[in-house]
Amino acid sequence: METVIYYFTGTGNSLWAGRKLAEQIPDTSLRPMAPLVRNGGRVRPDAERVGNVCPVYFLGLPSLAARFAGMLGLSGTRYVFAAVTMGGIGGTAALRQLDGILSRNRKELDAGSAVKMPGNYVVGYSPPDPAKQEELFRNAGEQLAGFAETVKAGKKARPGPAVFSGLIHAVWYPRFIASLPGSDREFTVSDACTSCSTCVQVCPVENITLEAGRPVWHHRCECCLACIHTCPVEAIQRGKKTAGRARYRHPAVSLPDLKGQQKG
């Protein structure tokens, strides 16, 4: 059975998770969501089995991943699955959100998995130390291997109830999503900037351009924070708290990998 996995990632965790699944599920292709959302229109996968892999943002789906789910035409799809990567909580709430979006198109999520990965919301905190990261990668790899077996067997593993996180999601998630496009007004660039354009190339939604050698944000931000984490000289900050905090990129995901997400 042919399988396609669509992914969205900022720092590589979800791309790595998608790759782990693709390695273990035969006849699987991995495709980025971002170019498809940018192009608009209906997305009709040429596969009987369809997966979505993305991070959890504020106990829900990234705005782009939610929009992508609404674009999916799954009338010819037999099995739909999803894996969400998270640094904290909210995985079940995000999976239930995805299931709700799919249900509007008369489809449901057959199986979902919330995978603990190194948190990297540098606006709020530093990523875990390398030893903790390795532990998380090991545990996540084992969980994804088990989930791949569930998918291959076509088993049902629907998300359960999310009472507490679902309540928080209902109250705060809409406000968070509404604030995203203009949140890039908080980005600043120091004189350390070398005009290398890495930030321009890794932004999955083409929200950044170089003007007079400095990055400029155009208010359609997804808050993936790829620009902050991948700046080679740490010249980009958001607000007053990111300076001095460690940056993060999944060690198995390269800069060319992240850049490739923009164009597909």
pLDDT, tens only, 88-146 = 888 999 999 999 999 998 899 999 999 999 999 999 999 999 999 999 999 999 999 99
Q: Are residues 91 and 19 in the same domain?
A: yes
Q: Are residues 113 and 226 in the same domain?
A: no
In a domain, 176, yes or no: no
Q: How far apart are CA 208 and CA 227, in angstroms?
A: 9
Among candidate residues 118, 142, 168, the one where a domain is terminated:
168
State the residue range of the domain holding 85: 3-168
Among candidate residues 110, 136, 168, the one where a domain is terminated:
168
Q: Are residues 128 and 189 in the same domain?
A: no
| Positions of E strands within the chain | 3-7, 28-32, 49-55, 79-86, 111-116, 187-189, 208-211, 214-217, 236-238
Q: Count the alpha carbons within 13 Å of 114 in the hemisphere toward its beta carbon.
A: 22
In a domain, 16, yes or no: yes
In a domain, 137, yes or no: yes
DSSP at 60 = B
Question: For the chain, which residues score pLDDT lower than 70?
Answer: 163-164, 166
Q: How far apart are CA 32 and CA 99, in angstroms?
A: 20
Q: Alpha carbon 119 to chain centroid distance?
A: 12
